[in-house]
Structure 1
Amino acid sequence: MQQIIDFILELDKLKGVTRKTRPLGLTRLENSAEHSWQIALLAWSLADYAAEPVEIDHVIMLLLVHDIGEIDTGDTIVYAEGGWEERKAEELKAVRRIFGLLPAHRAEALLALWQEFEAGETAEAKFANAADRAMPCLLNLANNGQSWRENGIRYEQVINRLSAPINEGCPALWAYMKEKLDAAREQGLFGA
């Protein structure tokens, strides 16, 4: 029991990892725990639109564990260029430490989920990655490009980073978002 409680209390630190996007109507930045919760519900809501049939409970577990390594590494904006291999190696080290707080069989199960999300090869991982990539973009669209403008993110960066993973996991969502992104470009909601 103590191992499980220690793990759950360690997860509380994810609430302190800030991201670059603001929740709607708030001046503060969202945290990674909020992000994980919101994308789990986004995926659940969009399950009928997945590119392939998915086990939604499995997708939700992928989404709940995918950012846990940020407790040690912090969040990196999805549009960052270069250094991803080093970041992911550090994140793997972090999740091994954090999941290692649990009894071995639980730690192994969560590590397997984290690795499945990162590999992005199963139908569930593709769909989970689509939800993960979509949510910050959806918030930016609703916030008049707040994070894009503040961080100098260009339209081309957004398209290049988001189109393939979202389209692969949820083509209907990408079709919706592409139309909204094109309109946002016309409105000047991107950084220079």
Structure 2
Amino acid sequence: MDEKLIKDINFIVEIDKMKSIYRRTEVINEKKREDDAQHSWHIAIMAMVLHEYCDEEIDLLKTIKMLLIHDLVEIYAGDTFCYDKIANGDKKDREKIAAEKIFGLLEEDKGEEFKALWEEFEAMETPEARFSASMDRLQPMLNNYNNGGGTWKEYSVPKEDIYKRIEPVKYSSKKLWEFVLYMLEDAQKKGYIIKD
């Protein structure tokens, strides 16, 4: 048997665990939490649909790859609720260790490519990474809005924290940022977001 193929297959089997990593965000109009695989699929499709609104030229295939692999580290590091300030304290360290482990399952070239994409996503310094981060932040916002406040309401998340979390959209798309501002103001009017 081809050793490289065996590594690839073992990696594919291992990443099935993404379906068991549950996020705080609920699926729209259902009382069940989404898993990491659903989230990654959703934001990859969002990038395909919304990339025309990006203010910078992006490599869409690279962006989709980034979105599909960015949460693989959560197989070992777990999902960290974005508004949990204490749990976010050591998130970077936990995820860095997890990245070495998950991408280390692949043969060296492929593992390094995936790890580099993950690091690029985390740094948010390239057009693809900025747009990827925008999709990653916009998706739970859409879910929360369409679920009557979702985790914003459940955890009494202050408006200031929500704006800070969604801010990457501002740096990748003026049009999407206008939409975000409209939606958040509307969410506050509807009582989905607590007043500061």
What TM-score do you get using the length of structure 1 for normalisation?
Answer: 0.95
- Give 2:82's aligned residue: 78
Check whether the contact 1:51–1:127 (CA below 8 A) recurs between aligned residues.
no
Q: For residues 152 and 48 of structure 2, what CA distance do their matches in structure 1 show?
A: 27
Shift of 1:85: 5.6
- The residue that corresponds to 1:134 in the other structure is 138
Matching residue of 1:38: 42
Equivalent residues in 2 for 1:170-189 (5 A)?
170-189=173-192
- 2:124 is aligned to 120
Q: Secondary structure at the match of 1:19?
A: strand
1:155 paired to 2:130 = no
Q: Cα distance, 1:38 vs. partner?
A: 0.3
The Cα of 1:82 is off from its aligned counterpart by 5.0
Compute the TM-score of the two structures, normalised by the length of structure 2.
Answer: 0.93
CA drift of 1:132 comes to: 0.5
After the TM superposition, list the runs of 4 or more consecutive aligned residues in structure 1 that deviate by more than 6 angstroms: none
> Greater shift after overlay, 73-82 or 132-141?
73-82
Alignment of 1:53-132 (within 5 A): 53-81=57-85, 84=88, 86-132=90-136
Per-residue CA deviation, residues 125-179 of structure 1 (Å, 9 max, x unaligned), is 011011101110011111111111112212221012212x111022211110110
Contact kept? 2:103, 2:111, Cα under 8 Å = yes
CA change 1:191–1:73 in 2 (3 A) is: farther
Alignment RMSD: 1.4
Gaps of 5+ in 2: none
- Paired residue for 2:26? 22
Task: Give the stretch that moved more between structures: 14-23 or 146-155.
Answer: 146-155
Larger displacement relative to structure 2 (26-35 or 78-87): 78-87
- SS of equivalent residue, structure 1 residue 21: strand
The answer as to whether partners of 1:54 and 1:124 remain within 8 angstroms in 2 is yes
Amino acid paired to 2:178: A
Question: For residues 85 and 153 of structure 1, what CA distance do their matches in structure 2 show?
Answer: 18
**Structure 2 CA distance for aligned equivalents of residues 86 and 181 of structure 1:** 29
Gaps spanning 5+ residues in structure 1: where? none
